[in-house]
Chain A
Amino acid sequence: MDIKERNKAYNKYVSAKVPKTKPWPTLFNSFWVGGLICLIGQGINDLILFLAPNISEQSAWAYTLISLIFIASFLTGIGVYDKIGKFAGGGSIVPITGFSNSITSPSVEFKSEGIVYGICVKMFTIAGPVIVFGVISSAFVGLIYYIVYLFI
């Protein structure tokens, strides 16, 4: 009981000390930075379709996403993406660049712990759950469609 009360007081103290982020500027920043990243993606996609008109729409999107992943990974490596993230919040997390950042960032951070236990293990701290949930839910969707196709 004593510990509980102490924790309560401590939590109150922490929440008083943590700097409050003003919601409106960050919302606005996440809007235009996120929009801008998508615009860059559309630009790359249009450029790819212009340079190689023969490839399918799906391959063009794959190249676009790989390009964005490369750019975000590089920016994370040189430490720029974290600054964008501080400024834009969700605008830098939600696009595929945020996924790339979430893989590169811990890899660079934990490099000092070795290649296997540092880079390779920490690489999936955030991307792991994303891939696990993605694979399971898509398999579930596939199962539903499989059952539906059995009956029609």
Chain B
Amino acid sequence: MEMFLDYLWVFLVGGFVCMIGELLIITTNITSARILVTFVLVGVFLEAVGLFDYISDFAGAGINVPIIGFGASLAKGAISAVKSQGLLGIFTGGLTATAGGIAAAIIFAFIFALIFHSHTKK
């Protein structure tokens, strides 16, 4: 039962975040690149003020899977690197924490671009 509740929170929070994105698209007609940038900045902000971990505690993947989680781990990396390395951490922290995701996206995109051909829009 408790596990079911956990998954329900994941679904509700994740769905809600995505719905806000869709609402932004409908009301302001902004492009998907701007949507992604906006949500990354929201994630950086939430982590910087310390709210992200509270949401992450009960929402789990509901807040980590949306690109907000990407922004939050950028900020989290920068903060912890500043703590351990000082000034250098400002430059190394963000990308170090998100290196896995960015590298994975680039590697898989390159491989699949070589394998598959474009599907012309009908």
Contact between chains at B109 and A104 (CB < 8 Å): yes
Q: What is the total of A-B residue contacts with beta carbons within 8 Å?
A: 272
Contact between chains at B32 and A131 (CB < 8 Å): no
Specify which of B14, B62, B79 lies most central, judged by the most chain A CB atoms within 10 Å of its CB.
Answer: B14
Contact between chains at B44 and A134 (CB < 8 Å): yes
Q: Which single residue of chain B is at the shortest CB-CB distance from A89?
A: B22
Interface size on A (CB < 8 Å)? 74
* A145/B79 contact (C-beta < 8 A), A39-B61, A77-B112, A96-B101 known: yes
Q: Determine the distance from Cα of A142 to Cα of B84 in the docked complex, in whole angstroms.
A: 12
* A143/B90 contact (C-beta < 8 A), A90-B22, A107-B113, A126-B32 known: yes
Q: Mark A29-48, 1 if CB is under 8 A from B, else 0.
A: 01111111111011001000
Chain A positions within 8 Å of B100 at CB level = 62, 65-66
Q: Which single residue of chain A is at the shortest CB-CB distance from B22?
A: A90
Q: Determine the distance from Cα of A149 to Cα of B82 in the docked complex, in whole angstroms.
A: 9
Q: Determine the distance from Cα of A36 to Cα of B74 in the docked complex, in whole angstroms.
A: 25
What is the interface residue range for chain B against chain A?
A: 35 or more
Contact between chains at A35 and B71 (CB < 8 Å): no
Contact between chains at B89 and A42 (CB < 8 Å): no
Q: Determine the distance from Cα of A144 to Cα of B50 in the docked complex, in whole angstroms.
A: 14
Q: Which single residue of chain B is at the shortest CB-CB distance from A111?
A: B113
Q: Which B residues from 24 to 61 make CB contacts under 8 A with A? A: 24-26, 32-33, 35-37, 39-41, 44, 47-48, 60-61
* A141/B44 contact (C-beta < 8 A), A31-B18, A93-B32, A99-B105 known: yes
Contact between chains at A138 and B44 (CB < 8 Å): yes
Interface residues of A (CB under 8 A from B): 21, 23, 26-27, 30-39, 41-42, 45, 61-62, 64-66, 68-70, 73-74, 76-79, 82, 88-91, 93-100, 102-104, 107-109, 111-112, 119-120, 123, 125-127, 129-131, 133-135, 137-139, 141-146, 149
Closest CB pairs A-B (n = 7): A34-B18, A38-B14, A90-B22, A35-B15, A90-B21, A142-B78, A138-B94
